[in-house]
Every structure is written in C-alpha cells, then in structure tokens.
C-alpha cells in the first residue's frame, strides 16, 4: 500500500526525525525550504511499506555527506557556479540508472534525521518514485559504515557522488564501506563541505530484512505528538519521551560548547550544568556531527549506539550541533534505546565508544538508568 504524505505529515516528520538526529542529520529549516519548493511544483510524496516493495525492483540510498571545513577551503570554491539540489539530484539519478541499466523504484533514507532523510523523500517526489518507510540506521550517524548495509555485508557499489558544481563520480569498485567513507569525505572537502551520494543499490526482495523498518512513519508519530502537545497546552517534552519511549537523562543549562570543523565533520564537546533535580551535577557530551558519548560528573554515562538528544523543554524541538552555541537557556537531554541491530556483535564493533577511540565499554541505556 502506498501512503501519500501531505504537508502536515511532512512537517511532523521533520520535527520527529530531528529527535532521532541526535544533534545532526540535517536541519529542519533546510528540509522545510526543500519541501516548499517541492509543493510549489505540485510534487507528490509517496511512501511504501518495505514489505510491499516488488521483489524485482531496484532501491537505492541517497544522502548528503559533509560537515565542517576550514574557512579558507570554503572560500576557494565561493566563485564557482552552483547547481540547485534538483539539478544535482537529476545528475546523480541519471548516472546511476545508466550504470545499473535499470530504473530506480524507490529511495531509502541512509539515516534518520530531519534533513538527510527528507533528501531521500524529496528525490523520490522529484522523480515520481516512492520513499521507503524505514532507513538504514534508526538514528543519525557520522560515517557511511554506520549502516545496516555494513552489518549485513550489502555491497555499496556501484554508487555515485555528485558535487554542488555538477561533478559526477561513478564508483564501480571500492575496498569496503570505510574506504567509501574516505572517498566521499575527500570529495566533500574538495567541494567546499558537502556532496550528494546515492549508493547501495539493492533488490526489493532484500529491503525488508536489510533496514530498520517503519522509522519514517514513527517520526511522523513523534512529530505529531509534539504538535498536539502545543495545541492542547500540554507538555512537549513529555510528549517526546512518551512517543519515543525515551529517558530523561539530564536537565540543565549549556555552559560551554567547544567545536571545530575538520575533515568534513563537526567535532566538539557540550558542557551542561545541572538544574532542578540535577543541580550541582554536570554532563559532558562528545559529538562527531552527532552526539555519541556522554559523561555524568566525569563518569561514562549514556553512549552510542543508544541515542543522545538535546531538547528545548519548552518547544520539544531538538537542538542541532550546528548552532548549539546559540542555545543558552535550559535544555533537557534525552536518551533513546538503539535499534536491536546495533546491539548485535557486528553492530557493537562499529558504533560504540571504542570505535571512536574511547576506552569505555558499552552498557545499554536501560542498565544505566536502572542503576541510578
């Protein structure tokens, strides 16, 4: 069954997916602008259940790769003519369909986040195709290998990289997804900070068992709960916690943000002083685009693969690491259990603190919260 998503569904999706974006995953404002462009063109947003994708169809995964680069690098490309997102998308789709010799049936988001997931939805609408109700992570993540496709050894090739200037690279062979990540990042840096990637062509019959299913519709549900809390003078933070099944892990005021852009990522730490029942305590969060590791009073606390998201308690909106330094009043920090695939042996090899160089054993958020 194909579900047609209306404007309200899309807006609810963005706000819900931003919660799962854990500080990254693209911005709500960028997604909103893209949505308005699409609706002005009367594009239709169609979502397909993974179980109903035709076995012999072709599904691909589009997303943006990029982040921080030094200002001098960005200035080098400021005079180059830039294509619209629509033009970039067309170039990538045409190049990949030509290489595959097959028409693309649907697009599956590479991660769950307001901007990057909406990019897949936009590309589907642009081409008159479907977006899959699911994604390959169940949250936002910093690197290409952080994907169900990596866990399940689904080939990334052939895939395409398209720069905002119209450069198109078709990659037919790559050592592994980590190597693909290096190539994509180098292209992003060489393009002033970002490129579009379309990868992991997969047959429809394999999709349901290869992704985290139902995350688009779940995000719509979360966003709807926030909106309805506002409409009924309810509590947006409570709505987020109830709809996600999440935990309130801290509440406080942002005291300091340390961050820098390098290698196509935003790296940093957010330091929060507790308020209310957390008064006198401190939380520190390390992020690489997304929030990944936290310490409560200097001791390891909630970590990836479980989700860590900062929330404005008054609005229920997620706080982005791209403009977090602008946030100076109180925030709530919530944690959400990671999808089960990240708690498998392979998942725990590629998305835990040790992967990022921290000598911290992973303990589930349930264990952490029950142990308090």
Q: Which helix (H) or strand (E) holds 272?
A: strand 265-274
CA–CA separation, 178 and 190 (whole Å): 18
Give me the architecture of the 2-213 domain, per CATH.
3-Layer(aba) Sandwich (3.40)
Q: pLDDT tens track of the chain, all 372 residues?
A: 799 999 999 999 999 999 999 999 989 999 999 999 999 999 999 999 999 999 999 999 998 887 566 777 778 888 889 998 889 999 999 999 999 999 999 999 999 999 989 999 999 999 899 999 999 999 999 998 999 999 999 999 999 999 999 999 999 999 999 899 899 988 988 888 889 999 999 999 999 999 999 999 999 999 999 999 999 999 999 999 999 999 999 999 999 999 988 877 899 999 999 999 999 999 999 999 999 999 999 999 999 999 999 999 999 999 999 988 776 679 999 999 999 999 999 999 999 999 999 999 999 999 989 865
CATH of domain 240-370: 2.40.390.10
pTM of the complete model: 0.92
Query: Distance between CA atoms of 308 and 141, rounded to whole angstroms?
Result: 11
Q: For the chain, which residues make up each domain, given as ranges?
A: 2-213, 240-370
Query: Cis before residue 158, ω within 30 degrees of 0?
Result: yes
Q: Cα(321)–Cα(132) distance, rounded to whole angstroms?
A: 27
For 52, the enclosing helix (H) or strand (E) is: none
- Do the domains 2-213 and 240-370 sit in the same CATH topology, yes or no? no
Please check whether residue 27 is in contact with residue 118, taking contact to mean a CB–CB distance below 8 angstroms. Answer: no
Residue 106 in contact with residue 124, Cβ under 8 Å?
yes
């Amino acid at each position: 069954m194909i579900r047609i998503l209306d404007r309200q569904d899309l807006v609810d999706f963005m706000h819900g997916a931003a919660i799962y974006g854990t500080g990254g995953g693209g911005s709500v404002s960028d997604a909103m602008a893209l949505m308005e462009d699409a609706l002005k063109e009367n594009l239709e947003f169609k979502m397909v259940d993974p179980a109903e994708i035709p076995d012999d169809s072709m599904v691909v995964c589009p997303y943006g790769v990029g982040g921080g680069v030094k200002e001098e690098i960005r200035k080098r490309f400021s005079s180059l003519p830039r294509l619209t997102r629509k033009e970039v998308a067309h170039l990538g789709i045409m190049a990949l369909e030509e290489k595959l010799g097959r028409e693309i049936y649907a697009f599956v988001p590479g991660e769950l986040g307001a901007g990057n997931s909406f990019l897949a939805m936009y590309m589907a609408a642009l081409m008159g195709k479907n977006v899959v109700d699911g994604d390959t992570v169940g949250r936002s993540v910093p690197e290409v290998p952080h994907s169900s496709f990596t866990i399940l050894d689904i080939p990334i090739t052939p895939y395409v990289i398209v720069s905002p200037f119209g450069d198109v690279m078709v990659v037919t062979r790559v050592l592994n997804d980590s190597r693909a990540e290096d190539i994509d990042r180098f292209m992003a840096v060489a393009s002033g900070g970002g490129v579009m990637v379309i990868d992991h062509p997969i047959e429809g019959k394999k999709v349901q068992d290869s992704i985290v299913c139902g995350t688009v519709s779940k995000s719509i549900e979360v966003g709807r709960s926030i909106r309805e809390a506002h409409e009924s003078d309810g509590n947006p933070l409570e709505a987020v916690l109830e709809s996600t099944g999440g935990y309130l892990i801290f509440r406080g005021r942002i005291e300091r943000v340390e961050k820098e852009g390098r290698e196509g990522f935003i790296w940093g730490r957010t330091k929060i002083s507790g308020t209310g029942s957390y008064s006198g305590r401190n939380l520190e969060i390390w992020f690489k685009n997304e929030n990944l590791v936290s310490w409560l009073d200097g001791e390891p606390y909630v970590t990836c693969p479980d989700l860590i998201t900062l929330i404005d308690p008054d609005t229920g909106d997620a706080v982005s690491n791209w403009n977090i330094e602008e946030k100076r009043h109180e925030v709530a920090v919530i944690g959400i259990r990671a999808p089960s695939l990240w708690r498998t042996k392979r998942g725990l090899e590629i998305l835990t603190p040790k992967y990022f160089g921290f000598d911290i054993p992973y303990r589930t958020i349930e264990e952490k919260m029950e142990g308090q």
